[in-house]
Amino acid sequence: MAMPVSAARVCRLAGRTVSSLSAGHRRAVNLPARTCFISTSTASSLQFRLDERTAHSSLDLFKKDTGVIYRMMGLDPSQVQDDPERFRDWAVVFGDKTISSGRHYWEVTVKKSQEFRLGVAEAAMSRDDCVGTNSSSWVFGYAQRKWFAMTSNKMVPVTLVGKPDRVGILLDYEGGFLGLVDVEQPRIIHTLRGQFKAPLCPAFGLWDGELLTHSGLEEPEGLM
């Protein structure tokens, strides 16, 4: 059964982390008034749906498994098909595709939600953990009307975002970064650095409202 929102915040309100870009697979090009980072990863259009096997009992999938809605009461865990892939304590669901290389982009529409997380996690991440609380997940979250970036249970505020109805997620596996994208500009608002060594899945946490995923998209031009 899903934990109350007040209790759920315990796993996401501690510590700080450094947000910077890894230069392992990019080079800096100096242009007037800005620095661009050029990735050497190959771009591809990742097409995925949400994996019902991983969905916590408080989450229902809809629209051919591309959307997820949070149910306050949820289902009795005993009424949900037992599956070792399912998240047991936290309202989390994974995408059904794994990523081991390349550069990938997808978008998420947020509907009536004041508390959610978007990002990636290792496919083998513990189903007893919440995304963002361990070293095998990297997420951007929204709670208490504020954005933050989080990994290894360390959080840094993300400013100048507001609450857009739709945001983008850009993953560069070899480049070692995850970006939160403003889809209106488009521009990268914030990045998280990581050393990705294991297969990753798109990852989502939701504590109210709905999320609708949009995959199979081309990366907007000029991000980096």
User: Using the 8-state DSSP alphabet, how is residue 156 labeled?
Assistant: E
Domain boundaries, the chain: 52-214
Query: What confidence score (pLDDT) does residue 20 get?
Result: 34
Q: pTM for this structure?
A: 0.80
Of 157, 129, 128, the C-alpha closest to 142 is 157
pLDDT at 101: 96
Q: For tokens 């709905």, what's the residue?
A: 210
81 C-beta neighbours (distance < 10 Å), count: 7
Could you name the CATH architecture of 52-214? Sandwich (2.60)
Q: Cβ distance 71 to 58 under 8 Å?
A: yes
Going from the first residue of the chain to its last (224 residues), give the mean pLDDT of each consecutive group of 10, the final group possibly shorter. Answer: 35 32 37 38 83 95 97 62 89 98 97 96 97 98 95 93 89 97 93 96 97 96 82
Those residues whose C-beta lies under 8 Å from the C-beta of residue 139, and which sit 6 or more positions away, are 117, 118, 119, 120, 121, 131, 132, 149, 150, 151, 192, 203, 205
Q: How far is CA 53 from CA 44, 179, 206, in A?
A: 26, 27, 16
Contact indicator for 193, 23 with CB cutoff of 8 Å: no
> The tokens 């997808």 sit on which residue?
106
